[in-house]
């Protein structure tokens, strides 16, 4: 009590006098001042920074009842399309614009840090938060996240990438340990974060709730200090996820700077320092990072700017329609002609009750949203009749009367548009899905309508993929609209009536069955552990390795026009150049409509000594082309993007070798190929006594020396000699560790001699 009184007095006096802050005051900087702000430290001129979710719109809570799960109300903001949708645009420039608009809304409201983008990789289609994440591919994830960060930070507002790391499921997210090998961690689950940090330097990183290999991400020194700080040279601030700190002392030691939300009354860190169990410098380290964030975001108060909400709505509309993926268009039913005399049946409750965002901390309170039916009806000419039937109301229970009405309407119409998808409780923060099918009532509706109507278009509204195999044959056309953000009806109608030509591509595979997915046997784990048993084979890397058929492959997306690829020319750079390859090719829009194509480069690497995927995305470009136009496209591959992580040597390397370049319109629609040699940097493996006989003999230094010892000892005789001279057995000796051969009688070299060779080097 005495001590508390004394320190309180000291604290007040230090604030008044402008003297050095006390330890009590300084440790308060390690936690939020309240639900949404960092703490201030007046004596050091550190001001509070206000934060807000994120990632696809602001969730500013100005009332006294804040929450981190989107339950409370928040101020009206623009609801942009979530990451799943933006990722399907494959358009970095578009995402920079979205980021910049988000930043402008934050700036105008004094928010210095946006909690987003979410960057976790899509390991399983079941993850309940997949709608908030970009892709199953680390390069695509990293580049699109970098675009978002650049946009946000161009407004003087910080971006906080999350959830670092390996938060790939919602089940047990607060307790589960992701058990994962180092190569998979680095090449798959950390790689996107690494790219985003390298390309866009976000001002904050949010640690994940889960454990990584047994240690909470928020206190994982390997993750937060060795990798993030020492290797990636990251200089921003690390904040915890809300409530995601297990032990604040271990967290500070591991590299966490700020614990959120505020818990200023907790004295654990203070007690540990006073007891001599924790170094005071760590407090200073964290304060300096918080201060840097404050300094970086101060300009927002000098000039808050203003927000053009009309322009932001138009941007949402553009982004949503650019991200729609035309999965199938068999009889070219799309685009619909809304000027001619015919009838269109619009069926499905989702056509009048729009679903345009996911559930949880990312929920945005936005202006009223126009539905698909109203939007189509408004723009249809008097000649075109547009009628509606709900088809389902309860997603899980088939209502025979509603189905019958819908089928009758479809039968009497020229074209039927079915709007189906996932209800909000299917994809919500905090829980995962159990299957990848549409809800029962939607499936029954598609079947009933498909059996009686011929021109059926299915429009999908969902934030994580659904399989199409069970019902795709009923549909002539299928369009994946994802979650559109607030310009729902307008954007969907723009694609359906051909106001725009769809140009989205799948940022994740649509599997044929849940049982086919790479993590099927290891998701979501049990006993608070989840084993990443599929290793680096995530998404298309797995489906391609197993040569499995899928509903729609990674990168797939059709257009109302068609594109021709030709004239691939490649230039291989020197091994010392940061760029390994430059390619050019010609792309022609050979149809009658303007459109855009995403040119994708996948590389098959024949030269690595470790197992690598069949091919991996290494570059892409979104290219708009007017009808009939040809453009020359240039793609560059940085050397770093060809590297793999060699766990034995604990380093990244591209050792060089033959590569096959596959350029195409999807991961399984390859239009141009070329095989060529690309020089790299061979790995310098340190030889030891357990290296194989072949590795010893191939070594430029030790090979000749060992051979000399063998010759001096009269050559290899006895059993080893016999086996070596036998054609069929030679390989087993050459691939045996030297240590084992030394054990055999008549082998002319001793272990002491071999060890001495290594010691002398």
| Distances from the Cα of 104 to the Cα of 107, 151, 308, 319, 401, angstroms | 5, 9, 9, 17, 49
- Are 471 and 489 within 8 A, CB to CB? no
Find the shortest distance in angstroms from Cβ 522 to ligand BGC: 22
Binding residues among 57-96 for ligand BGC as defined by CB under 6 A = 68
Among 25, 53, 170, 597, binds ligand BGC (CB under 6 A): 53
Of residues 91, 137, 241, 294, which has the active-site annotation?
Answer: 241
* Site membership for ligand BGC, residue 556 (CB under 6 A): no
* Site membership for ligand BGC, residue 642 (CB under 6 A): no
DSSP secondary structure letter of residue 633:
E
Say whether 437 is catalytic.
Answer: no
- Phi–psi pair at 566, nearest 5 degrees: -155, 170
By C-beta, is 100 or 361 nearer to ligand BGC? Answer: 361
By C-beta, is 242 or 552 nearer to ligand BGC? Answer: 242
By C-beta, is 65 or 306 nearer to ligand BGC? Answer: 65
* Site membership for ligand BGC, residue 56 (CB under 6 A): no
Calpha distance 218→52 (Å, rounded) = 20
Among 27, 44, 50, 54, binds ligand BGC (CB under 6 A): 54
Calpha distance 84→716 (Å, rounded) = 63
* Site membership for ligand BGC, residue 115 (CB under 6 A): yes
Under rule CB under 6 A, how many of the chain's residues touch ligand BGC?
A: 8
- Are 157 and 300 within 8 A, CB to CB? yes
Calpha distance 240→218 (Å, rounded) = 6
Among 123, 162, 268, 639, binds ligand BGC (CB under 6 A): 162
DSSP secondary structure letter of residue 227:
I
Mask for 557-586, x = binds ligand BGC (CB under 6 A): ------------------------------
By C-beta, is 70 or 125 nearer to ligand BGC? Answer: 70
By C-beta, is 348 or 358 nearer to ligand BGC? Answer: 358
- Are 340 and 34 within 8 A, CB to CB? no
Calpha distance 441→457 (Å, rounded) = 17
By C-beta, is 205 or 678 nearer to ligand BGC? Answer: 205
Calpha distance 422→483 (Å, rounded) = 10
Find the shortest distance in angstroms from Cβ 466 to ligand BGC: 24
By C-beta, is 44 or 109 nearer to ligand BGC? Answer: 109
Find the shortest distance in angstroms from Cβ 167 to ligand BGC: 8
Calpha distance 53→60 (Å, rounded) = 7
240, with CB counted inside 10 A (0-12, 13-18, 19+), is buried
Angle at 635 between CA 587 and CA 537, to 5 degrees: 105
Mask for 174-213, x = binds ligand BGC (CB under 6 A): ----------------------------------------
Find the shortest distance in angstroms from Cβ 362 to ligand BGC: 7
Angle at 68 between CA 437 and CA 213, to 5 degrees: 70
Find the shortest distance in angstroms from Cβ 241 to ligand BGC: 5
Find the shortest distance in angstroms from Cβ 2 to ligand BGC: 38
By C-beta, is 242 or 645 nearer to ligand BGC? Answer: 242
By C-beta, is 153 or 207 nearer to ligand BGC? Answer: 207
Calpha distance 89→325 (Å, rounded) = 9
By C-beta, is 68 or 668 nearer to ligand BGC? Answer: 68
Find the shortest distance in angstroms from Cβ 469 to ligand BGC: 33
DSSP-based three-state secondary structure for 370? coil
Find the shortest distance in angstroms from Cβ 82 to ligand BGC: 12
Calpha distance 256→727 (Å, rounded) = 59
Among residues 162, 230, 168, 167, which one has the least CA distance to residue 202?
A: 162
The residue behind tokens 């570059």 is 619
Calpha distance 175→178 (Å, rounded) = 10
Calpha distance 50→85 (Å, rounded) = 27
- Are 178 and 532 within 8 A, CB to CB? yes
Among residues 36, 153, 115, 133, which one has the least CA distance to residue 432?
A: 133
What is the side-by-side strand order in the sheet with 342-347? 325-329, 477-480, 456-461, 415-421, 342-347, 384-389
Among 203, 234, 242, 565, binds ligand BGC (CB under 6 A): 242
Calpha distance 668→539 (Å, rounded) = 13
Among 100, 184, 361, 384, binds ligand BGC (CB under 6 A): 361
Tokens of 561: 């026009």
Find the shortest distance in angstroms from Cβ 458 to ligand BGC: 32
* Site membership for ligand BGC, residue 241 (CB under 6 A): yes
- Are 207 and 218 within 8 A, CB to CB? yes
The residue behind tokens 């809570």 is 61
Find the shortest distance in angstroms from Cβ 54 to ligand BGC: 6
Residues at the site binding ligand BGC, with contacts judged by CB under 6 A: 53-54, 68, 115, 162, 241-242, 361
Which residues does the annotation mark as catalytic? 241
């Amino acid at each position: 009590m005495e001590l508390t009184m004394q320190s309180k007095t000291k604290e007040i006096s230090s604030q008044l006098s402008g003297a050095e802050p006390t330890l009590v005051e300084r440790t308060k900087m390690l936690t939020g001042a309240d639900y949404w702000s960092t703490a201030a430290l007046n004596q050091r001129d550190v001001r509070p920074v206000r934060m807000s979710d994120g990632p696809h719109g602001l969730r500013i809570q100005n009332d006294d009842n804040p929450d981190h799960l989107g339950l409370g109300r928040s101020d009206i903001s623009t609801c942009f399309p979530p990451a799943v949708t933006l990722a399907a645009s494959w358009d970095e420039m578009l995402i920079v614009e979205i980021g910049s608009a988000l930043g402008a809304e934050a700036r105008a409201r004094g928010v210095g840090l946006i909690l987003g983008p979410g960057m976790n990789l899509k390991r399983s289609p079941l993850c309940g938060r997949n709608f908030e994440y970009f892709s199953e591919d680390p390069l695509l994830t990293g580049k699109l996240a970098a675009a978002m960060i650049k946009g946000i930070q161009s407004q003087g507002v910080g971006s906080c990438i999350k959830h670092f790391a390996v938060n790939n499921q919602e089940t047990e997210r607060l307790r589960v340990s992701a058990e994962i090998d180092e190569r998979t961690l680095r090449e798959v689950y950390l790689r996107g974060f690494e790219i985003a940090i390298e390309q866009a330097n976000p001002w904050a990183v949010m640690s994940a709730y889960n454990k990584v290999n047994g240690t909470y991400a928020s206190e994982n020194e390997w993750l937060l200090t060795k990798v993030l700080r020492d290797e990636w040279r990251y200089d921003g601030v690390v904040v915890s996820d809300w409530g995601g700190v297990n032990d604040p002392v271990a967290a500070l030691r591991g590299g966490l700077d700020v614990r959120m939300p505020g818990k200023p009354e907790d004295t654990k860190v203070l007690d540990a320092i006073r007891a001599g169990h924790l170094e005071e410098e760590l407090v200073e380290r964290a304060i300096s990072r918080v201060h840097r964030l404050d300094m970086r975001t101060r300009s927002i108060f000098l000039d808050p700017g203003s927000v053009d909400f009309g322009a932001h709505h138009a941007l949402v509309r553009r982004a949503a329609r650019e991200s729609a993926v035309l999965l199938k268009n068999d009889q070219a039913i799309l685009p619909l002609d809304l000027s001619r005399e015919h009838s269109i049946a619009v069926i499905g409750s989702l056509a009048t009750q729009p679903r345009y965002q996911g559930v949880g901390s990312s929920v945005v309170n936005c202006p009223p949203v126009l539905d698909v039916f109203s939007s189509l009806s408004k723009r249809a000419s008097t000649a075109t009749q547009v009628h509606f039937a709900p088809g389902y109301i309860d997603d899980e229970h088939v209502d025979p009367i509603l189905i019958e009405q819908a089928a009758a309407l479809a039968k009497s119409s020229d074209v039927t548009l079915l709007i189906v998808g996932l209800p909000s409780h299917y994809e919500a923060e905090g829980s995962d899905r159990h299957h990848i099918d549409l809800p029962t009532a939607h499936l029954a509706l598609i079947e009933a309508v498909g059996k009686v109507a011929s021109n059926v278009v299915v429009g999908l509204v969902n934030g994580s993929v659904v399989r199409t195999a069970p019902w795709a044959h009923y549909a002539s056309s299928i369009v994946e609209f994802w979650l559109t953000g607030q310009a729902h009806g307008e954007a969907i109608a723009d694609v359906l009536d051909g106001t725009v030509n769809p140009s989205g591509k799948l940022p994740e595979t649509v599997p044929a069955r849940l049982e086919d997915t790479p993590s099927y046997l290891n998701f979501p784990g049990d006993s608070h552990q989840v084993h990443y048993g599929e290793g680096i084979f995530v998404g298309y890397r797995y489906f391609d390795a197993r040569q499995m058929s899928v509903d729609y492959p990674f990168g797939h997306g059709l257009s109302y026009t068609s594109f021709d690829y030709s004239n691939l020319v490649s230039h291989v750079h020197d091994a010392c150049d940061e760029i390994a390859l430059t390619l050019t090719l010609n792309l022609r829009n050979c149809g009658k409509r303007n459109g855009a194509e995403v040119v994708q480069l996948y590389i098959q690497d024949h030269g690595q000594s470790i197992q690598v995927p069949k091919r991996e995305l290494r570059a892409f470009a979104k290219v708009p082309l007017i009808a009939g136009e040809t453009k020359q496209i240039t793609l560059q591959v940085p050397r770093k993007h060809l590297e793999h992580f060699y766990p034995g040597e604990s380093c990244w390397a591209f050792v060089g070798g033959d590569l096959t370049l596959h350029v195409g319109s999807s991961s399984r629609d390859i239009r141009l190929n070329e095989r060529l040699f690309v020089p790299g940097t061979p790995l310098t493996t340190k030889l030891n006594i357990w290296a194989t006989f072949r590795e010893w003999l191939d070594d430029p230094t030790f090979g000749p020396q060992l051979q000399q010892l063998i010759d001096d000892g009269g050559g290899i005789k006895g059993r080893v000699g016999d086996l070596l001279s036998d054609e069929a057995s030679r390989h087993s000796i050459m691939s045996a560790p030297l240590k084992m051969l030394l054990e055999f009688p008549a082998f002319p070299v001793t272990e002491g001699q071999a060890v001495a060779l290594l010691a002398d080097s």
